[in-house]
Chain A
């Protein structure tokens, strides 16, 4: 029950015991190619990522099936990873390839190998509690800018968050938090959920009461308009195509917002940015623009994290008319925690939801005006 004596109760529920089915980005691929094994704590265990002699990346469970040694502290030997404890060698397919001190490798010596994918210079692993391969249409799309000399290199950052990863996914439908947490001013907000994809169409303008340069510069502050088309491809990888009108100069950027679960109550949030080079900018200058933008995005995520690590999990949010489709989004998200055979058709059927922003815009314009008036010392009318 939600209510007793008219008082609303929070149903905190519990995070799902299993991890979402889907492609999960572990980060940029290049840093994994240094010849060393890399540890990644994810999916309730530890993984080891290593590159073979040809540079191809492989992911295995890190704990050696012999006596539990940590392969991520071992050594790459050709296309195998050798355990630091007893030198058992494990190949890319998870089979034990060699035990130097033994006359024979036990036929059952096999560990878990994770299906990998490289796309957009990033490394992905496929997580599926049922052990199935991904369906043909469930993939990570190519971002053209990531393969073009006209764009910057990727920035890449991460944060470990002590909360269930549903918190970050909820942002897809949360129009109002953009004003209160991210100091943006949403004017248009629409969601589409269909199949394994959840999209958010957002238009914002900047908040003159939070322009960092507002009082430092003599130049009048003009509004920075932003148009964003973001979509989750599966449970954890969002591509956000951004178009800014930066003081009259159009700017294109792509933001990756992705995560992987460490435990049901911890996840690693990662984000990366590329920007299209403005005419006349050198590659180094373009990278600087991307870095500046990534820093701004990072501040926004830190504000989110501050909320997430202090809030209650809530399975029964109390919504008003001007909130987004939180329940519909969570229903879409639930598909990744069910066996594929159990997913009802209407759970993944197309749902569109457009918020009426008129009331919010009216209230926020008044709030911004009051903030500006307070700053200038002139009382608001």
Chain B
């Protein structure tokens, strides 16, 4: 099932991340809330993530390993001894996602 607001999406719409059905163990399930993930490219370093917004403040972001490695802020901070799981966010990526929402490339759709 897909969300009903596809007409407003102009960016490259992406499937929800993860092949959840194929998961071994079976206890983990997909979030039933309809998230309209879109691919967003960082304006600073070109790292690409999947982002979805239920509202202007709400944001969910799915990274992959390549994006984490490409991220300029993460790289800079890892070089001085930080671990990426303990970095709250990347400022440039947050700005890029906000800009995508503002100019309509990333739909803001409640589930």
Check B111 for interface membership: any CB of A closer than 8 A.
Answer: yes
Write out the residue numbers on chain B whose beta carbons fall within 8 Å of the beta carbon of A328: 31, 60
Distance from B45 Cβ to chain A, minimum over Cβ atoms (Å)? 15
CB of B57 within 8 A of CB of A327, answer no
Which residues in chain B, 59-88, are within 8 Å of chain A measured between CB atoms?
59-65, 67-68, 83-88
Check A135 for interface membership: any CB of B closer than 8 A.
Answer: no
CB of B57 within 8 A of CB of A354, answer yes
Task: Knowing A192-B85, A197-B86 are in contact, say whether A331-B60 is a contact too (CB < 8 A).
Answer: no
CB of B85 within 8 A of CB of A199, answer yes
CB of B58 within 8 A of CB of A355, answer yes
Check B28 for interface membership: any CB of A closer than 8 A.
Answer: yes
Instruction: Please tell me the size bucket of the interface on A.
Output: 35 or more
Task: Knowing A190-B88, A321-B111, A351-B63 are in contact, say whether A356-B55 is a contact too (CB < 8 A).
Answer: yes
CB of A345 within 8 A of CB of B65, answer yes
Interface size on B, residues (CB 8 A): 38
CB of A353 within 8 A of CB of B64, answer no
CB of B85 within 8 A of CB of A356, answer no
Tell me the complex Cα distance, A351–B60, Å: 7
Distance from A357 Cβ to chain B, minimum over Cβ atoms (Å)? 7
Check A231 for interface membership: any CB of B closer than 8 A.
Answer: yes
CB of B55 within 8 A of CB of A334, answer no
How does the 8 Å CB contact mask read for B70-111 relative to A, with 1 for contact and 0 for none? 000000000000011111110000000000000000000011
Write out the residue numbers on chain B whose beta carbons fall within 8 Å of the beta carbon of A327: 28-32
Tell me the complex Cα distance, A190–B89, Å: 10
Tell me the complex Cα distance, A316–B54, Å: 20
User: Looking at chain B's contact residues, is the secondary structure mostly helix, strand, loop, or mixed?
Assistant: loop
CB of A330 within 8 A of CB of B62, answer no
Task: Knowing A337-B25, A352-B60, A356-B57 are in contact, say whether A347-B31 is a contact too (CB < 8 A).
Answer: no
Check A349 for interface membership: any CB of B closer than 8 A.
Answer: yes
Tell me the complex Cα distance, A161–B12, Å: 48
Write out the residue numbers on chain A whose beta carbons fall within 8 Å of the beta carbon of B32: 2, 316, 318-319, 327
Nearest A residue (CB) for B17:
A346
Write out the residue numbers on chain A whose beta carbons fall within 8 Å of the beta carbon of B54: 321, 356
Contact of B28 among A190, A331, A358 (CB under 8 A): A331
Most chain A CB neighbours (cut-off 10 Å) among B22, B25, B54, B68: B25
Tell me the complex Cα distance, A337–B85, Å: 20
Write out the residue numbers on chain B whose beta carbons fall within 8 Å of the beta carbon of A326: 31
Tell me the complex Cα distance, A338–B57, Å: 34
CB of B25 within 8 A of CB of A334, answer yes
Write out the residue numbers on chain B whose beta carbons fall within 8 Å of the beta carbon of A194: 63, 68, 84-85
CB of A315 within 8 A of CB of B62, answer no
CB of B86 within 8 A of CB of A353, answer no
Tell me the complex Cα distance, A199–B61, Å: 14
Which residues in chain A, 156-213, are within 8 Å of chain B measured between CB atoms?
190, 192-197, 199, 201
How does the 8 Å CB contact mask read for A350-381 relative to B, with 1 for contact and 0 for none? 11111111100000000000000000000000
Check A91 for interface membership: any CB of B closer than 8 A.
Answer: no
A-B contact pairs, 18 of them (CB 8 A): A16-B27, A192-B85, A194-B84, A199-B88, A201-B88, A321-B33, A321-B111, A327-B28, A327-B31, A328-B60, A330-B27, A331-B18, A345-B65, A349-B63, A350-B67, A351-B63, A354-B60, A357-B57
Chain B interface residues toward A at CB < 8 A = 17-20, 22-25, 27-33, 54-65, 67-68, 83-89, 110-111
Chain A interface residues toward B at CB < 8 A = 2, 13, 16, 190, 192-197, 199, 201, 229, 231, 315-316, 318-319, 321, 325-328, 330-331, 333-334, 337-338, 342, 344-347, 349-358
